Structure 1
Amino acid sequence: MFEVFNRPPADPLQLPLAVGPWPAILIVAAYLLFVLKVGRQFMEHRQPYDLNKVLKVYNLIQIVYNGTIFVFISYVLLVLKPYKLSCIMVLPIDHPVKPLEQALSYAYYLNKILDLMDTVFMVLRKNYRQITMLHLLHHSIMVVAVYAGIRFSGYGGHFTIMGIFNVFVHAVMYSYYYISSQKRAVSQNPTWKQYITILQMIQFFTVMLHSVYTLMQPNCDVPLIAIAAVLAMGSLMVVMFTNFYIHTYILPKKPKQK
């Protein structure tokens, strides 16, 4: 099963937690074990922890983290312009922008690991209703998928578009979390959560459209496996988020028939 990992990595740069598949696999396994079993057993006879101050700091860190990646990727795409946006290839090792491409991709990977703390905090606060199948799958898949992209495609490349949209959405999302922790009126207004869910779905549709557009380019050498991976992952996320949206925001509004 793991023989595919015996192949040389697409990029020779080996960084912590991105060397081989085991760090990503073990992190996700430990995450799921804690969230689904160990954490709940630990909290069974305990009161929910008051993490309001911790969460405010965490949300601020996420806003700055995602916002910084967004600014730098935008700078690369719009100012340095090492890519053709319709066909974003992984830069050669000797390209002057390569170190920045590697740094941003690695920072994005680490951010997906940091995102797992969302669920850890939910367990410690006993907010189990928020831990949905969508939530668990989304966070778990992102860690493994981003590692796989780095391992088999290299840092950056076609996955850059997915990255820039994702960090933008997350910057908005964590800004909402921070503001709602400061202003009760915002936290009690479900419309904002609905808008964020819509923004997430738009993100996946846009990334998929970009992949289809890339596929249509006659002289583009982006690996088909990279395009297929983005389309497959985007399709899965669209289905899951659409199902969540329908069951959370549409069906509850329909009056029950007598």
Structure 2
Amino acid sequence: MLQEMGSQVMEIYDFVVSGIDPRLKPYPLMEKPGPMSAILLFYLFFVLYLGPRFMANRKPFQLKEAMIFYNFFLVGLSIFIVYEFLMSGWLTTYTWRCDPVDTSDSPEALRMVRVAWLFWFSKIIELMDTIFFVLRKKSGQITFLHIFHHSFMPWTWWWGVGYAPGGMGSFHAMVNCSVHVVMYFYYGLSAAGPRFQKFLWWKKYMTAIQLGQFVLVSLHATQYYFLKTCDYQFPIIINLIWIYGTFFFVLFSNFWIQAYVKGKRLPKQDVKASLNGAAAHANGPKLHESGTTGKAVCNGASNGAAHHENGGSHTSKMKKA
């Protein structure tokens, strides 16, 4: 009985994996879902158990220089990804409406495959957001939504990129990386120290940029439901993108109201941190995307809402958006 069930499970697994675009197979971590799943499981193990135990009797690491390099590196990487998305279709052959995945081996199609993979791989790099929190003992930033965004979202994006590297489903990835250019630039300046605080007066507008991202993503996905015909090959991806964009729009709208309409600007611990001159703490909140305070959001993306998070705690991440 167990052997039969195991055989059926393997058949389903083989069927699902067989749907991965063969053009992606040569790229690192794309041949099978096992390696990337192992990375994400180790991430969870480190963040939830190993890291806190390692830091329990140690002083927080400062990591100022490392965070400055990390954030500005992601600024450069995000700019490159946006440019590649534009040159691979969005400024060349795409209509910005019903754009199917180009499954050919044309130079432009292969360029889109490459940048789609790079977008996903950037989410693996962004796991360092949480690693920095752990090593700096910023446990207040490690909320449920943050961990969810940084682990589950890259896992689902692996399948999305694997099945549909390009087409209208890639719009949210391009927009997400555009937002990350601004976000990581902000975090980089924040990590650089108090002397840069005078240049960070636009923090409030980070949330507005996030809201704009979710509006654009949801509107672009919504048009699919009103098109008479559309040959985009993976409608389920459009459905998930619409749900994702709408959910985080509601989440960030609530934060905007609490922070800038009702005046509930910062949680107590963050007010105290800012009074102590802990400017580096500003690099903390990232709701991802893949969606959450900073991330979403690549970011959505994560990102997203902490990019991404947990009850009242996720607002501490969103404030940095």
Q: TM-score, normalised by structure 1?
A: 0.87
| Residue from 58, 83, 101 that aligns with 2:112 | 101
Shift of 1:146: 1.3
Shift of 1:230: 0.9
| Residue from 227, 248, 253 that aligns with 2:238 | 227
RMSD of aligned C-alpha atoms?
Answer: 2.5
Which moves more between the two structures, 136-145 or 95-104?
136-145
Does residue 6 in structure 1 map to residue 6 in structure 2?
Answer: no
Quote the Cα distance in structure 2 between the aligned partners of 1:116 and 1:150.
18
Does residue 68 in structure 1 map to residue 80 in structure 2?
Answer: yes
The residue type equivalent to 2:206 in the other structure is: I
Shift of 1:247: 5.3
Quote the Cα distance in structure 2 between the aligned partners of 1:45 and 1:209.
49
Quote the Cα distance in structure 2 between the aligned partners of 1:217 and 1:234.
20
Q: How does 1:7-46 map onto structure 2 within 5 Å?
A: 7=15, 8-13=18-23, 14=25, 15-46=27-58
Quote the Cα distance in structure 2 between the aligned partners of 1:150 and 1:232.
18
Q: How does 1:160-179 map onto structure 2 within 5 Å?
A: 160-179=170-189
Shift of 1:45: 0.1
CA-to-partner distance for each residue in 1:189-243, whole Å, 9 max, x for gaps? 9864432233223212211110111332222112321211211222333344445
Aligned pairs, how many?
252
Q: 1:122·1:130 contact (CA, 8 Å) conserved in 2?
A: yes
CA-to-partner distance for each residue in 1:108-135, whole Å, 9 max, x for gaps? 0110111110110111001111222232
Distance 1:37 1:22, change over 3 A: same
- Structure richer in helix, relative to its length: 1
Shift of 1:24: 2.9
Distance 1:242 1:19, change over 3 A: farther
Q: How does 1:193-232 map onto structure 2 within 5 Å?
A: 193-222=203-232, 223-232=234-243
Shift of 1:26: 2.0
Distance 1:20 1:174, change over 3 A: same
Distance 1:48 1:6, change over 3 A: same
Q: 2:102·2:109 contact (CA, 8 Å) conserved in 1?
A: yes
Q: 2:113·2:165 contact (CA, 8 Å) conserved in 1?
A: yes
Distance 1:192 1:71, change over 3 A: same
Distance 1:192 1:133, change over 3 A: farther
Paired residue secondary structure (1:126): coil
Q: 1:138·1:237 contact (CA, 8 Å) conserved in 2?
A: no
Shift of 1:65: 0.4
Q: 1:9·1:154 contact (CA, 8 Å) conserved in 2?
A: no
CA-to-partner distance for each residue in 1:60-109, whole Å, 9 max, x for gaps? 21011001111221233454x22221012110223331110111001101
The residue type equivalent to 2:65 in the other structure is: K
| Residue from 131, 136, 158 that aligns with 2:147 | 136
Shift of 1:34: 1.2
Distance 1:71 1:132, change over 3 A: same
User: Which residue number in structure 2 is paired with residue 114 of structure 1?
Assistant: 125
The residue type equivalent to 1:237 in the other structure is: F
Residue segments in structure 2 that go unaligned for 5+ positions in a row = 1-8, 266-321
Q: 1:77·1:83 contact (CA, 8 Å) conserved in 2?
A: yes
Distance 1:136 1:157, change over 3 A: same
Q: Which has the higher contact order (CA 8 A, sep 6+)?
A: 1
User: Which residue number in structure 1 is paired with residue 194 of structure 2?
Assistant: 184
Quote the Cα distance in structure 2 between the aligned partners of 1:10 and 1:93.
14
User: Which residue number in structure 2 is paired with residue 88 of structure 1?
Assistant: 99
Shift of 1:41: 0.8
Quote the Cα distance in structure 2 between the aligned partners of 1:31 and 1:249.
34
Q: 1:215·1:227 contact (CA, 8 Å) conserved in 2?
A: no
| Residue from 53, 59, 64 that aligns with 1:52 | 64
Paired residue secondary structure (2:32): coil
Q: 1:208·1:230 contact (CA, 8 Å) conserved in 2?
A: yes
Quote the Cα distance in structure 1 between the aligned partners of 2:168 and 2:10.
24
The residue type equivalent to 2:229 in the other structure is: N
The residue type equivalent to 1:6 in the other structure is: D
